[in-house]
Amino acid sequence: MLVVLTGIPGSGKTTLAKRALEILKEEEGKSQYEILNYGDIAFEIAKERDNVQNRDEIRKLKLSEQKEIQRLAAKRIANASKDKSVIIDTHCTISTPKGYIPGLPEWVLRELQPDLMIIIEASPEEIVKRRKKDETRERDDEIKSEIKLHQELNRFIAMSYSTLTGAAVKIIKNPEDKIDETARKLAEILKLN
């Protein structure tokens, strides 16, 4: 079973996923899910194929090679998900200076074939607060409106991912003061798979 877990930086998705798996472990003795990070797997593949030393070097490769790395990372994950349930920690879109690029373009989706895509969202206010802990500094109003846009674009593109794969799309709001309740909700959905 293959679950794609997405959410913009500061949405709290990684913390939430860990808690949800703890809840499943408490209930069932062990969690059936393993969390994999799409970027980590892509970096592994890039090291094997192109002998890159760090993630920034991937972006310096030819575009066709970058796409091939993305495709092979998706294939590796799809293979891993045959024996066990896998949660992929990744992004619907990635904000770059040129604009928003798809985290799961067609050539990735064709290999990945996810069963379920979960979008973790939070309010722009809470996301700004969480990012500030990470020492990010920018003009608050502008960044809040960019966060709002980014979360909207992620919803839009998720529906196009769903058209190509048939994957279910679940949007989960993650307010700061209800993390346990939200993790429990996420755990319930993961049990449906």
Contact positions toward a second copy, by CB under 8 A? 67, 93, 96-102, 104-107, 109, 116-118, 149, 152-153, 155-157, 159-171, 189, 192-193
- Residue 65 or residue 129: which is nearer to a second copy going by CB? 65
Q: How far apart are CA 7 and CA 12, in angstroms?
A: 8
| Residues contacting residue 11 through CB under 8 Å, at least 6 positions apart | 120, 121, 122, 127, 174
Least Å from the CB of residue 92 to a second copy: 9
Contact 116/165 with Cβ under 8 angstroms? Answer: no
- Residue 116 or residue 143: which is nearer to a second copy going by CB? 116
- Residue 32 or residue 130: which is nearer to a second copy going by CB? 32
DSSP 112: H
Least Å from the CB of residue 91 to a second copy: 13
Least Å from the CB of residue 135 to a second copy: 26
- Residue 101 or residue 125: which is nearer to a second copy going by CB? 101
Beta strands at 99-102 and 93-96: parallel, antiparallel or unpaired: antiparallel
Least Å from the CB of residue 67 to a second copy: 7
Instruction: Measure Cα distances from 130 to 39, 89, 122, 190 in Å.
Output: 22, 18, 10, 25
- Residue 29 or residue 166: which is nearer to a second copy going by CB? 166
Q: What angle do CA 107, 92, 124 make, to 5 degrees?
A: 170
Least Å from the CB of residue 106 to a second copy: 5
Alpha helices (H) in 29-123, listed in sequence order = 38-50, 55-58, 63-83, 106-112
